[in-house]
Structure 1
Amino acid sequence: MKKPHYLLAAVLLTAAVLAGSVAGCAPGGGDASNETITFTDPGWDTATFMAYFEAFIIEHGYGYNVEIESTTNVVGLKCIELGEIDVHPEVAPMSLQEPLDALVETGRGVVIGPCYGPQVQGWYVPTFMIEGDASRGIEPMTPDLESVFDMPEYWQLFRDPADPEKGVFYSCIPGWQCQETNAHKMIAYGLDEYYNIVTPGSDIALATSMIAAIEKGEPWFGYYWEPTWVLAQVDVTRLEEPPYDEDLWNPENHYACAYPDEYPVIVGAASLQERAPDVWEFLERVDVPVEVLNTMLLYLQESGNQSSEITDWFLTRYEDVWTEWVSDEVADNVRAAM
């Protein structure tokens, strides 16, 4: 992999500087007023959200100076290697395994720990199909449905208007790896004989197909993932599949098992552990429930706010979550700044 060091200054853009020095020492750490901790914001909603709330807690709870720099995902890791960034708030190891391994091998970067998880992908149906919904007068349609292997029995409920001899399965959008994976899975589970694959043109089109069906009380069968705002808005059930098996996870075996769960991680500069051990300990404890992220993403969708603007919303609504990661003293400092 090329290492274009000379490009870093042009790529890095300062996104925010979170208030200046705070006199005194960080609780349990060194002289916080002389230490600046720099985050990367790689730009997608969950990562931006995490960078900003973690930075707020570190600044106001522990007394450190904090900066947030906008970078691309890979450049953020490169900047940790070069000593220009201290924390990347969300790295998906399966997507960035090569650059992450390269960073760790230099000894300048460390995987601090998971920041949330698991990220889940799977095949879903509306929960009312299995359990019914008395409030809407909906009786269970598939009360015995548990597994993908049950789906041949129910294809008529998902009938394709363009091909009435088959049902419809909504896959992911063109260009995503899951499009190919889902096509293989249909073969592996014997569902290609019963269902046609519909490929929506965008993630919004996929979400709309699900939401519209559920609002009408109609069947829907398709692929989705978490965290996402959509699954905070609707009630769906993920169908059982054979457990993930690395030996089956290939085209030759048609990916004949569940998607692997993935745990995004916080990556930090190795030097941070010595410079700010209290911050390091805090970051080790961060673990945001996926359900909270779903709700956060729905709040963004409905409120029109940016993910960099909802730290107060999170700290207020989910005090029972973040206070588990910090001391009472730090929590009091954070509350005072909210």
Structure 2
Amino acid sequence: MNFNKLVTTSVFGLIASAGAAMASDCGSISIAEMNWASAELMASVDAFILEEGYDCDVELVPGATQTTFTSMSEKGRPDIAPELWVNGLKVVLAAAKEEGRVHTALAGPITGLGEGWWVPKHFIEEHPELNTVEKIIEHPELFPYVEDETKGAFMGCPSGWSCQLSNDNMFRAFDMEAKGWVNVNPGSAAGLDGSIAKAVERDENWFGYYWSPTAIIGKYELFPVPFEAEWAGIDNWEGCIGLAPDDCADPQKTSWIPSEVETVVTNDFKEKGGEALDYLSTRIWPGEVMNAMLVYMNENQATGEDAAFEFLEAHSDIWMPWVSADVAEKIKSAL
């Protein structure tokens, strides 16, 4: 994305522009535009703010979790990964940080994100006493399975998704079959989303796996259900829960593995970023705002760039505290 800026040809204008560039010490930078909606939005908002507010020359670079990290670590490009999900990169990411090739600018750039088991808002309102996974599991009758209403329906993951394994093993760990539940395979992403839409639109109960930030969570107002079980450790998760059931003989009850997301920058950007790096270390997206923006993108078939303008125009109360007053004025003038 390239946000064109008017160039003034006056001597005073040139001096002022040079002074701003020296102040930010930003120059040309590249930002990873990951291949999912929230990351596209974050990249576009960061690009606009860095260009218009800090006089950076920004290029968006297509990316994905593994390929972007590898490129940053080995080639020093792109300079910034706004939304890097690090759960599957912990060992290599830790090594790259130890060697000073990449750095964390901000841990947790979006609040309320993660995977787990969810229920709709109306269920919480109707059954405030059933406020943990374990309590819900004791009431399969509240989630009747369409093919056998004497059993409860737990909506898991489609076949072939890595989360299918973890959901299958968590289902076993909590002995849900014996308690009257069926582990339902939705068949596809569309099937999973459709099961949520159908239940909420009919004011029916729904219990199953999903993740945030997503448009589905925002549109249908799903809420994560906390576990009473404590986190049973990474050995239980990676050595059993995350494996095929045949390789996980004794899954232990546990809360869901914590999701870790960071804004990561290269060493070169850390050294030159100046005020631009300060911005990246400050901006935190409220999860409910992010989900609402994903609903906007979905319903309007909006690109990350389209949504960036919508966010900046509609949510100045969110982004203005991320920057100084003079930078905020520059950004508002450029909209």
Instruction: Provide TM-score, normalisation by structure 2.
Output: 0.85
Instruction: Please name the residue that 2:83 is paired with.
Output: 90
Task: State the alpha-carbon separation in 2 of the partners of residues 144 and 45 from structure 1.
Answer: 35
Instruction: Please name the residue that 1:228 is paired with.
Output: 214
CA contact (8 A) 1:78 1:103 kept: no
Task: State the alpha-carbon separation in 2 of the partners of residues 258 and 213 from structure 1.
Answer: 25
Task: State the alpha-carbon separation in 2 of the partners of residues 221 and 167 from structure 1.
Answer: 9
| Range with greater deviation from structure 2 (200-209 or 100-109) | 100-109
Task: State the alpha-carbon separation in 1 of the partners of residues 67 and 167 from structure 2.
Answer: 31
Give yes or no for the alignment of 1:266 onto 2:263.
Answer: yes
- Quick one: which amino acid aligns to residue 314 of structure 1? F
CA, structure 1 residues 74+99, in 2 after alignment: closer, same or farther (shift >3 Å)? farther
CA, structure 1 residues 260+21, in 2 after alignment: closer, same or farther (shift >3 Å)? farther
CA, structure 1 residues 183+75, in 2 after alignment: closer, same or farther (shift >3 Å)? closer
Deviation >4 Å, runs of 4+: none
CA, structure 1 residues 238+82, in 2 after alignment: closer, same or farther (shift >3 Å)? closer
SS in 1 for 2:306: coil
Instruction: Please name the residue that 1:190 is paired with.
Output: 175
SS in 2 for 1:96: helix
CA, structure 1 residues 143+88, in 2 after alignment: closer, same or farther (shift >3 Å)? closer
SS in 2 for 1:197: strand
Q: What runs of 5+ residues in structure 1 fail to find an aligned partner? A: 1-15, 132-139
Task: State the alpha-carbon separation in 2 of the partners of residues 301 and 227 from structure 1.
Answer: 13
Task: State the alpha-carbon separation in 2 of the partners of residues 199 and 95 from structure 1.
Answer: 24
Tell me the CA shift for residue 208 of structure 1. 1.2
Task: State the alpha-carbon separation in 1 of the partners of residues 34 and 252 from structure 2.
Answer: 30
Give yes or no for the alignment of 1:121 onto 2:115.
Answer: yes
Instruction: Please name the residue that 1:245 is paired with.
Output: 232
CA contact (8 A) 1:185 1:254 kept: yes
Tell me the CA shift for residue 26 of structure 1. 3.2
Instruction: Please name the residue that 2:274 is paired with.
Output: 277
Tell me the CA shift for residue 27 of structure 1. 7.5
Task: State the alpha-carbon separation in 1 of the partners of residues 271 and 137 from structure 2.
Answer: 58
Tell me the CA shift for residue 43 of structure 1. 1.9
CA contact (8 A) 2:104 2:262 kept: yes
CA contact (8 A) 1:282 1:326 kept: yes
- Quick one: which amino acid aligns to residue 303 of structure 1? N
Tell me the CA shift for residue 285 of structure 1. 0.6
Task: State the alpha-carbon separation in 1 of the partners of residues 36 and 128 from structure 2.
Answer: 38
- Quick one: which amino acid aligns to residue 110 of structure 2? Y
Task: State the alpha-carbon separation in 2 of the partners of residues 143 and 111 from structure 1.
Answer: 39
- Quick one: which amino acid aligns to residue 146 of structure 2? P
Tell me the CA shift for residue 56 of structure 1. 0.7
Q: What runs of 5+ residues in structure 2 fail to find an aligned partner? A: 8-16, 241-247
CA contact (8 A) 1:123 1:222 kept: yes
Task: State the alpha-carbon separation in 2 of the partners of residues 315 and 307 from structure 1.
Answer: 12
Tell me the CA shift for residue 143 of structure 1. 4.9
Higher relative contact order (CA 8 A, sep 6+): 2
Give yes or no for the alignment of 1:257 onto 2:270.
Answer: no
Instruction: Please name the residue that 1:296 is paired with.
Output: 293
CA contact (8 A) 1:39 1:89 kept: yes
Tell me the CA shift for residue 318 of structure 1. 1.5
CA contact (8 A) 1:42 1:73 kept: yes
Deviations, residues 16-39 of structure 1 (Å, cap 9, x unaligned): 33436963333883555xx21111
CA, structure 1 residues 264+319, in 2 after alignment: closer, same or farther (shift >3 Å)? same
2:159 to 174, 178, 194: 174
Task: State the alpha-carbon separation in 1 of the partners of residues 252 and 136 from structure 2.
Answer: 18
1:103 to 96, 101, 121: 96
Tell me the CA shift for residue 47 of structure 1. 1.4
Task: State the alpha-carbon separation in 2 of the partners of residues 149 and 75 from structure 1.
Answer: 38
SS in 2 for 1:271: helix
Task: State the alpha-carbon separation in 1 of the partners of residues 124 and 291 from structure 2.
Answer: 23
Instruction: Please name the residue that 1:134 is paired with.
Output: none
Q: How many equivalent pairs are there?
A: 312
CA contact (8 A) 2:25 2:274 kept: no
- Quick one: which amino acid aligns to residue 55 of structure 1? A
CA, structure 1 residues 61+255, in 2 after alignment: closer, same or farther (shift >3 Å)? farther
Task: State the alpha-carbon separation in 2 of the partners of residues 149 and 84 from structure 1.
Answer: 45
Tell me the CA shift for residue 61 of structure 1. 0.3
CA, structure 1 residues 90+255, in 2 after alignment: closer, same or farther (shift >3 Å)? farther
Tell me the CA shift for residue 225 of structure 1. 1.5
Alignment RMSD: 2.3
CA contact (8 A) 1:126 1:236 kept: yes
- Quick one: which amino acid aligns to residue 296 of structure 1? M
CA contact (8 A) 1:169 1:197 kept: yes
